Structure 1
Amino acid sequence: MNMKNLFYWYLLIVGMWLFSSCTANLEQVETTDLDRESVFADSAYTARFLSQIYTDVGYDVKPNRFKTEAFGMAIEHGGLQTACDEAAYKVVSDVTNDVMFATGTINPVNAKEDDVWKIAYVNIRRANVFMKYVEGSPITENVKKQYKAEARFLRAWYYSMLLRHYGGVPLIGDNIYEVDDDMKTSRDTYADCVKYIVDECNLAALDLPDKFRGINTGRATAGSCKD
């Protein structure tokens, strides 16, 4: 065997050894799901938790919220903006939720299970969780105060979303209900809901900047609370 062939054999053996070493190391890596404690023990995860609450802020008016199927194609009807007497409905054979909202025929039986009611209360609960547990996160007090104000505004935003659809709804305050808890189900009055939303927005505005720039553009500001 000449030196050239010997060199190639050496590279092959070293390569196989490196590959087996890497494979062995990869097999030893363990991953676990994040829990509440680990999320709020890390500043980056804490910020991401807050960002998640922003995800559904435009759900009620998104163009593909109400849709039907015809000839194997999805027909988009729009969002809540179509549920008014000035909207021009698309002619379809199905009765869609936007029409039912506009005509006052929506009820617990025909409302979509995963629509605004569920989405809004999921995010209201997220906001409550965030405001309670952010205190233990390793972020500065100024940022913590701003983050809590953003979460407070977002909670009020989702209540306003519910209000536009259903009128008075249950106000759950800062409660974080678990599966086995007795949850509040009685509706608060329309006036009480409006007052709660306005009061929460005014409180949030105290700890929010007038504007954000750069990558933070679009986050809640003092101006958002007044609008």
Structure 2
Amino acid sequence: MIDLYYWTTPNGHKITLFLEETGLPYSIKPINIGKGDQFAAEFLAISPNNRIPAIVDHEPSDGQAPLSIFESGAILLYLAEKTGKFLSRDFRVRQQTLEWLFWQMGGLGPMAGQNHHFGNFAPEKIPYAIKRYVDETARLYGVLDKRLEGREFIAGEYSIADMACFPWVAAYTRQQIDINEFPNVKRWFNDIHERDATQRAYGLSEKMNPNAPKLPPLVD
């Protein structure tokens, strides 16, 4: 059994996407970041950076004591290695998958996150900051669009790279991004949107937090 310390954010969605795809048994431990649950001592013992998501695997592969892991990219990599799913054993495809996983962790996520903050939550609207992060988010969409040209998914088959990127792209309506300007990303978004596991993962989010941003509809 895996305990998932979770809230309804793009980084949280990454892990429910994986778990719903694989059917691994898991239990959600809600961490309401709006109420400050992430600063509780019990959570900090698992996630010292006071950020969700985090997991505790009560049946780790080494057969030893329960194992806690924080950082969404590290969790996806751990779960992929644990299950043997969504991370190719082909040497070169594996490297490509990890490249794009780390691209999301170091680029798309942080830049889109700043876009969300300055565009939607900052108490003061700072035009320079808004433009800077909207422009950089758009640049990254362009990088992803080019990567997806002639490919169904980021590394060929559906993988943890797609699961890492999708929740941030699913927030495009809050990023001042016209997804129609990125036709390969739009097609990829629609394909992942229609997966049953995606619908289940986002359905969990809506049940847990009715105020969570909804998954946008398919794009025509």
- What range is the shorter-chain TM-score in? 0.3 to 0.5
TM-score normalised per structure 2: 0.34
TM-score normalised per structure 1: 0.33
Could you say which structure has the larger radius of gyration?
1
Bigger relative contact order, structure 1 or 2 (CA pairs below 8 A, ≥6 apart): 2
